[in-house]
Structure 1
Amino acid sequence: MRAGVLIRAGVAGRLCGLSRPAVTLRWIRSSSGPPENPARDQSAAAPLRCFRLPGRSLLHIRGPDTCAYLQGIITNDMNLLQEEEERRALYAHMLNVQGRTLYDIIIYSVREPSGDPVEVLLECDGSVLDSVTRHLKVYKIRRRVTVTPRSDLALWALLPRDAGSARDGSQPRPTAAGRPLVLVPDPRTDLMGWRMITGSSENPAELLTDCENRETEEYQQHRYTIGLPEGVADLPPGDALPLESNLVFMNGISFSKGCYIGQELTARTHHTGVVRKRLLPLSLSAAGDALQPGGALDSTAAGKPAGKLRAGLGRQGLGLVRLAHANDTLTLKSSSSTPVTARASIPDWWPKDATK
């Protein structure tokens, strides 16, 4: 049974400017199994590691043109939030006119289950919040929407306690003390657990059963270990290409939705079927945070350039690597010019034919 979705309708109503007398819970389940009782024994809840993500920010977009407005400026299909009842989050990129990634985003629907998605919360890298806001407003002409930063909200990542474990059919359990505003499966991969939005002063340990607060650095290392990019350090604006950044594998693009900004190059590359470089997880012989982002990766076997380092933390990192050299031992230089070795790997969660 697929993981469910929890939305606190009372708070969602306040975002709409509506008045609701009570906070209610709505559990959205797929039709592949029977509905589950959220009030059952809370000891069955999966143990979770909870990470606050202060480097990610939220924008509130509302108005009758919300869906059509975003449809023309993101890579994914906003209609999925209408057509698939259990879907409440959508991963996507915003591209420039040359088809390169500007910003990676997650869109959360805060509508009523039976209504149109006339308002959403948009997650982005907090360091470029102003740039994302300006980008959105450039394309807002004659659209009946408003775009508002929501600094009063906090974003959390919830991961299974066992590192490397995938999200299963269980659902994080709220306590009797309170409810998160939004609690949804991460749309990118099961290995990323759940996304949760709360008020900025709320503590997830008081909202969820068996939830342990952990340091954000552990979350970053988890992402690098499984090879999942997030934010402008991993996806440099105007430099990263969406298909090389594995947008397809992260459920972040629709090739049937029609036109959007940057669509032409992306669609052409997809239909030729040729992607020679991909963003891959790296195991490093020295701490990655001491290495220069953008440093050249060279193949020791071929004696040729093999790619570039994007980012690193501890002994884990991400690199844009030519697939022809993905199995080679790679080298790069540290800030002290000391050679550092790196080994790339193909993530297990990718499709089996991903590198063909």
Structure 2
Amino acid sequence: MRPRFLSPLLRPWCRRLSTACFPLAELRGLLRLRGPNPRSFVQGLVTNDAEQLKDGAMYAHLLNVQGRSLYDVLLYSVPEPQGGSHDLLLECDITAMNAIQQHLQVYNFRKKIELRPCPELSIWAVIQEKPDPPVVTPTPPALLCAPDPRGPVMGYRLVAQTGQDIREILSGAKLGNVRDYSRHRYQHGIPEGVKDLPPGEALPLESNLVYMNGVSFSKGCYIGQELTARTHHTGIIRKRLVPVRLSSSLSADCAGMEITTASGKSAGKFRAGVEELGLALLRLAHMKEELRITPGGGAVISVEASVPGWWPSPGDGV
């Protein structure tokens, strides 16, 4: 029996969905923003245009004043059951929830926005082997399901009541695990969380923020906008975060290790990964060269970089 809060308009889509569902409670958490106008509150803090968020999900970064990424977030619009104002749900790395809440509170002096964690809600990634075209559905009051705005390879995001059996929501769903979800992300070059995007270090455009629909260049001012806009308009991006495959896995403490060419020239840095898959910030000029990592006292590990299929072609102007 399906839960009562599932919208009737969502049920046909759920019935035809045969896919893997990944519980993300270990990785991702939710903050609820409630108040007179939560969109206006976050508008000056995030890279994307929060005023354009109606239904569904929106990807964005919070930047520092120097224009470097602090945190990657997903924003969801949640209408009140009585038809009142729309709250916002902010999805983020669960290890950074307290830091993000404190960061937002700094700018909440006169806005009177209530910020609180939502342990009663859980996030799921819903990824299909052969994704259908996105289905636009209204947001049910106790369930939110929307295409992942970062790209079709990431499927859908689903927010459900904590403890809800996902198989009651998506008939025929196969439960996946967090490790396989992370492998999927790394295989396709999708960064997520503070390990992939170190706070205060990562630059948003080098992190493919434009490619993942996470920035607006037509909205008003926001914190960190100047460097991001200048870099975009000059069109000069020499390094990018790309998926890499290693000849053998690296330990977690190898994050930030230098990647070199066969001649010993610096090509970039390894960010994070799972087993043989990971992400690296590489100079585009060295992408097709023979690359390697040499852990201290260990054997040389070869690094094979690739260009994700979901990236736009060079002629697309992004």
TM-score calculated relative to the size of structure 2:
0.91
Return the letter of the residue paired with 1:60: R
Q: CA deviation at 1:24?
A: 6.4
Query: Per the alignment, do residues 336 and 197 of structure 1 end up closer, same or farther by CA in structure 2, a change over 3 Å counting?
Result: farther
Look up the equivalent residue of 1:169 and give its one-letter code. P
Residue matched to 1:12: none
Q: In the alignment, which of 181, 203, 207 is matched to residue 219 of structure 1? A: 181
Over residues 320-356 of structure 1, what are the superposed CA-to-partner deviations in whole Å (9 max), with x where a residue is unaligned? 0000001111110235421100011110100011799
> Which amino acid counterpart does residue 163 of structure 2 have in structure 1?
S
Shift of 1:46: 2.8
Task: Give the distance between the partners of 1:270 and 1:116, measured in 2 at CA.
Answer: 38
Task: Report the counterpart of residue 232 of structure 1 in structure 2.
Answer: 194
Counterpart CA distance in 1 for 2:273 and 2:58 is 26
Question: Are the aligned partners of 1:291 and 1:333 in contact in 2 as well (CA < 8 Å)?
Answer: no
Q: CA deviation at 1:71?
A: 0.1
User: Equivalents in 1 of 2:220, 2:136: separation in Å?
Assistant: 36
Please name the residue that 2:154 is paired with. 192
Cα deviation for residue 169 of structure 1 reads: 2.2
CA gap of 1:258–1:234, structure 2 versus 1, over 3 A, is: same
Cα shift readout 1:224-265 (whole Å, capped 9, x = no counterpart)? 000000000000000000000000000000000010000001
| In structure 2, C-alpha distance between the alignment counterparts of 1:185 and 1:39, rounded to whole Å | 16
Give the conservation status (yes or no) of the 8 Å contact 1:290–1:335: no
Q: Aligned in 2, Cα 1:262/1:172: closer, same or farther, shift over 3 Å?
A: closer
* Alpha-carbon contact 2:23-2:125 (below 8 Å) kept: yes
Match of 1:149 among 111, 117, 129: 117
Q: Report the equivalent of 1:343.
A: 304
Letter in 2 for 1:50: C
Partner of 2:7: 25
Q: Tell whether the 8 Å contact from 2:80 to 2:141 is kept in structure 1 after alignment.
A: no
The one of 129, 132, 141 equivalent to 2:100 is: 132
Distance 2:317 2:184 in 1: 22
Q: Does 1:104 align with 2:72?
A: yes
* Number of residue equivalences: 312
Distance 1:140 1:185, change over 3 A: same
Structure 2 residue aligned with 1:18 = none
Contact preservation (8 Å) 1:52, 1:216: yes
Residue 200 of structure 1, CA deviation: 1.2
Aligned CA RMSD, in angstroms, stands at 2.7
What amino acid does structure 2 have at the position aligned with 1:129?
M
Is the Cα contact below 8 Å between 1:109 and 1:117 reproduced in 2?
Answer: no
Contact 2:79 2:141 in 1 (8 A): no
Q: What SS does the corresponding residue of 1:298 show, helix, strand or coil?
A: strand
TM-score (normalizing by structure 1)? 0.82
Q: Counterpart in 2 of 1:19?
A: none
CA distance change for structure 1 residues 223 and 41 in 2, over 3 Å: closer, same or farther?
Answer: closer
Q: Which of residues 260, 266, 272 is equivalent to 1:311?
A: 272
Structure 1 residue 203 displacement after superposition: 1.5
**Secondary structure, aligned partner of 1:286:** coil
